[in-house]
């Protein structure tokens, strides 16, 4: 069931991709459908606009009953994503449901870039700057995004 579900999601994403989101098998793991790569384009009107961020996705053997592990490979300046690429998206933890798909998760991560949660951050200092000096946060985030992203 797991392999069939993953193939179906990849096929559906290939035929009907979400705007600004790409999903594909990880070439470092040829033939291993449990390791995927994705890219998301930074949302419009954010410091990440026009930047492409790459993510690594590892699917557990009991997917979709357990959530995937998703890490940002591209460094990003965000209160919701730490220096190791981990994110604080609740649907990848306690609020996971098998009704979610990998493209939907990527869409939520893309939304997290435009609507971070500075009250429950992974990076407290960045969250504090975001709340106290949004213009400076935006300047730094934009500068780092253009430095590291595609």
Q: In this structure, what CATH number is given to the domain that contains residue 71?
A: 3.10.110.10
State the average pLDDT over residues 44-57. Answer: 97
Q: pLDDT at residue 102 above 90? A: yes
State the average pLDDT over residues 90-111. Answer: 95
Describe the chain by its helix, strand, coil percentages, rounded to 5: 35, 20, 45
Number of C-beta neighbours around residue 80 at 10 A? 23
* Share above pLDDT 90 across residues of the chain, in percent, rounded to a whole number: 95
State the average pLDDT over residues 7-30. Answer: 93
Confidence of residue 18 (pLDDT cuts 50, 70, 90): very high
Note the pLDDT of residue 142. Answer: 97
Please list, in sequence order, all residues whose beta carbon lies within 8 angstroms of the beta carbon of residue 81, skipping any fewer than 6 positions away.
Answer: 72, 87, 88, 112, 122, 123
CA angle (38 as vertex; 102, 21 as ends), nearest 5: 75
Please list, in sequence order, all residues whose beta carbon lies within 8 angstroms of the beta carbon of residue 37, skipping any fewer than 6 positions away.
Answer: 23, 24, 25, 26, 27, 54, 55, 56, 57, 73
Residue ranges making up the domain that contains 130: 2-148
Residue 14, helix vs strand vs coil: helix
Output phi, psi for 109, to 5 deg: -65, -40
Q: pLDDT at residue 104 above 90? A: yes
Note the pLDDT of residue 79. Answer: 96
Domains identified in the chain, total number: 1
Q: pLDDT at residue 1 above 80? A: no
Which is the catalytic residue, given 12, 28, 88, 108? Answer: 88
DSSP assignment letter at 35:
E
**Active site annotation includes 51:** no
State the average pLDDT over residues 12-29. Answer: 93
Please list, in sequence order, all residues whose beta carbon lies within 8 angstroms of the beta carbon of residue 5, skipping any fewer than 6 positions away.
Answer: 63, 64
Confidence of residue 117 (pLDDT cuts 50, 70, 90): confident
């Amino acid at each position: 069931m797991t392999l069939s579900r993953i193939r179906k999601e990849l096929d559906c994403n290939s035929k009907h991709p979400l705007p600004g989101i790409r999903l594909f098998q990880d070439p470092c793991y040829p033939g291993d459908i449990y390791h995927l790569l994705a890219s998301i384009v930074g949302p419009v009107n954010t410091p990440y606009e026009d930047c492409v961020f790459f993510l690594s996705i590892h699917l557990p053997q009991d997917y979709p009953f357990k959530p995937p592990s998703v890490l940002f490979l591209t460094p990003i300046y965000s209160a919701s994503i730490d220096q190791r690429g981990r994110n604080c998206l609740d649907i990848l933890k306690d609020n996971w449901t098998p009704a979610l798909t990998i493209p939907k998760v990527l869409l939520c991560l893309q939304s997290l870039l435009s609507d971070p949660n500075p009250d429950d951050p992974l990076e407290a200092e960045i969250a504090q700057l975001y709340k106290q000096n949004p213009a400076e946060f935006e300047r730094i985030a934009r500068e780092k995004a253009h430095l590291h992203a595609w």
